[in-house]
Structure 1
Amino acid sequence: MTSTAKAASSAILERDGKYLLVLRRNPPSADMYAFPGGRAEEGETPDETALREFQEETGIVARNPQLFSVYDLKTYAADGSVTSHFFLSVFTVEADADAVAEAADDAADLGWYSVDEIRRMPVPQSVLECAERLALRQ
């Protein structure tokens, strides 16, 4: 059985060398920290999805989404079948410096983490890769 990939987007907000991550409550990345994001809704562009999901999960209204990376993410069952398949568009975003993040929607918790901290946390490989690449730019 071939799966049709679903569109998803996530958004990276950086402040003072730390990145805003949410603790996922739901699969496919349950109990892992990731950039705020989720599945696209009907008719949404990837950047619209990133901004909506970011606001739903953190309460922060972000702006100026810039495409940073794209991933073809598949999750496999023990028998090798694909259980989930997403095309993930990752954007960097901006927000007001005084905006306070609060975990909501499927975010169980959230926090600001440095790349060194992210390396030691349960995160999807795509999150670590993006954080490492962004750290090199600073």
Structure 2
Amino acid sequence: MAGVRYPVRPEVGVGALVTLNGRVLLIKRSNPPGKGKWSVPGGHLELGENIYHAAARELEEETGVIGEPLGVVGISELIERDEHEVVLYHYVLVDVLIDPRTSPDKASARSDASDIVFISLNDALGMDLTNSARGLLERLAAGDVKLLHVSTWSG
């Protein structure tokens, strides 16, 4: 998810949380914001796309893993300012728990990911994570992740 620098309004990003047998799937971000840090796979919500489809799409684009969205497990916000305190990036980030339908062990770094790991949650917490990923994984480790459901209406 290459970020839009100096946006005129907040952008919506989605993250795909894939866990299996105490392990979590992470990608190393190849674009700002967070370039070089580890995070859950994710990217921009596209116009007309619902959050669940976006998370599943981004997961497949960045890792090759196909999965079924189960529900929203986190909402966070990233506001990054430049040296003059002008907003450089502003994202509302929605994390979706995904049940993998293909093995995360066979995942490969694609698209905006420069590297990929499928690693124990404890080891993941020792990595150089984005702030949003760290918050999500800390809540997961504490057993404080609950599924929320999002409704989409057309009119």
Taking structure 2 as the reference length, the TM-score comes to 0.82
Deviations 1:77-118 (A, max 9, x none): 011111011111001110136352111001001002223322
How many aligned residue pairs are there? 138
| 1:75 Cα offset (Å) | 1.2
1:65 is matched by which residue type in structure 2?
L
- Listed as ranges, the gaps of 5+ residues in structure 2 are 1-5, 145-155
Q: Tell me, in whole angstroms, the C-alpha distance in 2 between the residues paired with 1:104 and 1:58.
A: 6
Q: Tell me, in whole angstroms, the C-alpha distance in 2 between the residues paired with 1:16 and 1:105.
A: 26
Q: Tell me, in whole angstroms, the C-alpha distance in 1 between the residues paired with 2:42 and 2:103.
A: 21
Q: Tell me, in whole angstroms, the C-alpha distance in 2 between the residues paired with 1:48 and 1:2.
A: 24
The share of aligned pairs that are identical, in percent, is 27
1:122 is matched by which residue type in structure 2?
D
| 1:129 Cα offset (Å) | 1.5
2:151 counterpart residue number: none
Q: Tell me, in whole angstroms, the C-alpha distance in 2 between the residues paired with 1:18 and 1:64.
A: 17
2:150 counterpart residue number: none
- Listed as ranges, the gaps of 5+ residues in structure 1 are none
2:12 counterpart residue number: 7
Q: 1:17 to 1:27 in 2, by over 3 A?
A: same
Q: Give yes or no for the alignment of 1:116 onto 2:122.
A: yes
2:27 counterpart residue number: 22
Q: 1:2 to 1:44 in 2, by over 3 A?
A: closer
2:60 counterpart residue number: 55
1:107 is matched by which residue type in structure 2?
A
The two structures, once aligned, show a CA RMSD in angstroms of 1.9
Query: Are the counterparts in 2 of residues 3 and 85 from structure 1 also a CA contact under 8 Å?
Result: no
SS of equivalent residue, structure 1 residue 13 = strand
1:37 counterpart residue number: 42
Q: Tell me, in whole angstroms, the C-alpha distance in 2 between the residues paired with 1:69 and 1:132.
A: 12
Deviations 1:17-67 (A, max 9, x none): 111000010111110000000011121111111111011001011103310
Query: Are the counterparts in 1 of residues 52 and 69 from structure 2 also a CA contact under 8 Å?
Result: no
Q: Tell me, in whole angstroms, the C-alpha distance in 2 between the residues paired with 1:98 and 1:35.
A: 16
